[in-house]
Every structure is written in structure tokens, then in C-alpha cells.
């Protein structure tokens, strides 16, 4: 079956539509069928509509994504209540253990992101994976650091990512691989990305799933939840009224 390759994190400046248009068009040419650009909680609907048009012109599907970086559990809960019904993908940037643990067990969270390079400041461990495995929350791995870092820093990051991916697989936590890039020069074809992340211990099928089925599955699932007739998983409202 043909795969739907997706990149859920094109890190473009949402104010720079000219650059965004070039990056999105290049992603389409490389074979991606679905992309997402991270917005902030303050993003206006008009800005989102502009990106939807850019993607429509490039003949590529566009998913709305928001990245939040709360400092406390309370901030996270407030943001999720406010934003979950507005965006198709919700990513939590985990900069402390309290937020990481809460995000992992909350079904309203789609992606866990650990941006800090130092392994001592990353919180994806056995406890985190055990919470995430029951909530359908996925671990996001970005390709950009593997492309731009050099020497011992990249070696240490590879070791950290191999450990985290191994933990995720043991606990059946989905792994989503995104580019995290904002320029055309750093974009790679989906199968090239899959080949690169095989360095993290993923077999060929799992690596391809990480750039296709896993990210696209999140968007499909959430679009169903956000649709008007959704009641619960597997239950939809077909018709309502006195003659039902």
C-alpha cells in the first residue's frame, strides 16, 4: 500500500510567507503529502488560513499544529483546555519533569518534544514511556540536529536518541520523525530521512512508519475527533432532529 509521507514540523517563520511558500513547495516536490507548521497559542485564524492556501497551491495537505512550552502542570492543563479544539496537532515542549509526566499521560497531547541536547535535561525515560503508552502520545524526534551538529555533540545526541527510541519501542510508544528545518537546503526526501533514522535502531519498516503512518495517523484521528458529528471513538452522530 502506498505510504502518505508526512512532516509535522516545518520550522518556518509564520510571518515570512515567502520563505514558507518555498519550503512547503520543496516538501511537496520531495514527496511529502502532509505537512504541519507550528503556530503559537496567540496565532490568529487569518494566519492559519494563509498557510492553508499556500499548501493548497502546492498540492499538499496541511495540518494545524500548536507548540506549547508550559512551566508547570497547571499551565499545561490550562493551555490544553484552551487549544485542543482549535488545532489538529498539539505538541508539548518538555523542559521539566513535572510537565513531561503530565503531558505523557494526557490524551489531549499528541507529541512530546525534548529540545534540550544534554541527556541530563531530557525526561523521556521508562516512567515517561509507561505513561505515554496508554494515552497514544507519541515521541517526536527531529532530524535537523543530526544534520547540523558535528563531532562529540552529535555523537552524544545519537546515543541519547538511540536510548529514547529503544525505550519507546519497548513500551509501544509511537515514534514520529519530523524535520524541524526552516530552509529548503536542509529538507530531505522521506525515504532518505527513514534511512538516516535507522541509525537510532529502527528497522526499515519502523523507520518508514515514523515518517508516514505514525504522523499521518495522528492527524486522521484528530480530524475525526474535531469533526462535527464525533461523539466517541467509533461513534458518530449521523442525523439529529424530531424525525430521527
pLDDT in tens, 68-110: 999 999 999 999 999 999 999 999 999 999 999 999 999 999 9
Q: What is the pLDDT of residue 234?
A: 55
pTM of the predicted model, to two decimals? 0.89
Q: What is the pLDDT of residue 122?
A: 81
Give buried/exposed letters for 195-215 (b at 16+ CB in 10 A, else e): eebeebebeeebbbbbbbbbb
| pLDDT band at residue 182 under the 50/70/90 scheme | very high
Residue 187: is its pLDDT beyond 60?
yes
| pLDDT band at residue 238 under the 50/70/90 scheme | low
Q: What's the average model confidence in pLDDT over 173-192?
A: 96
Contact 146, 157 (CB under 8 A): yes
Residue 143: is its pLDDT beyond 80?
yes
Query: Average pLDDT, whole number, for the chain?
Result: 91
Residue 1: is its pLDDT beyond 80?
no
Q: What's the average model confidence in pLDDT over 19-38?
A: 96
> Measuring CA to CA, which residue among 130, 91, 76 is closest to residue 8?
91
Q: Right CATH number for 6-236 from 3.60.20.10, 1.10.3470.10, 3.30.70.1560, 3.20.20.140?
A: 3.20.20.140
Amino acid at each position: 500500500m502506498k505510504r502518505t509521507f508526512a512532516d509535522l514540523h516545518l520550522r518556518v517563520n509564520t510571518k515570512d510567507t515567502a520563505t514558507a511558500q518555498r519550503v512547503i513547495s520543496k516538501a511537496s516536490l520531495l514527496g511529502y503529502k502532509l505537512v504541519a507548521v507550528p503556530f503559537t497559542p496567540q496565532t490568529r485564524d487569518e494566519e492559519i488560513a494563509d498557510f492553508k492556501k499556500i499548501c493548497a497551491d502546492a498540492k499538499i495537505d496541511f495540518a494545524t499544529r500548536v507548540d506549547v512550552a508550559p512551566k508547570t502542570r497547571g499551565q499545561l492543563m490550562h493551555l490544553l483546555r484552551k487549544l485542543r479544539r482549535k488545532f489538529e496537532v498539539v505538541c508539548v515542549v518538555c523542559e521539566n519533569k513535572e510537565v513531561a509526566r503530565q503531558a505523557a499521560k494526557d490524551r489531549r497531547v499528541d507529541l512530546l518534544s525534548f529540545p534540550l541536547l544534554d541527556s541530563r535535561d531530557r525526561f523521556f525515560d521508562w516512567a515517561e514511556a509507561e505513561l505515554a503508552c496508554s494515552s497514544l502520545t507519541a515521541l517526536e524526534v527531529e532530524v535537523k540536529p543530526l544534520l547540523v551538529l558535528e563531532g562529540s555533540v552529535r555523537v552524544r545526541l545519537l546515543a541519547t536518541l538511540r536510548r529514547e527510541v529503544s525505550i519507546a519501542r519497548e513500551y509501544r510508544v509511537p515514534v514520529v520523525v519530523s524535520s524541524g528545518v526552516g530552509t529548503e537546503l536542509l529538507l530531505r526526501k522521506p525515504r532518505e530521512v527513514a534511512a538516516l533514522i535507522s541509525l537510532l535502531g529502527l528497522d526499515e519498516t519502523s523507520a518508514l512508519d515514523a515518517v508516514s503512518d505514525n504522523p499521518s495517523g495522528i492527524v486522521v484521528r484528530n480530524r475525526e475527533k474535531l469533526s462535527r458529528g464525533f461523539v466517541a471513538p467509533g461513534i458518530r452522530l449521523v442525523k439529529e432532529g424530531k424525525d430521527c
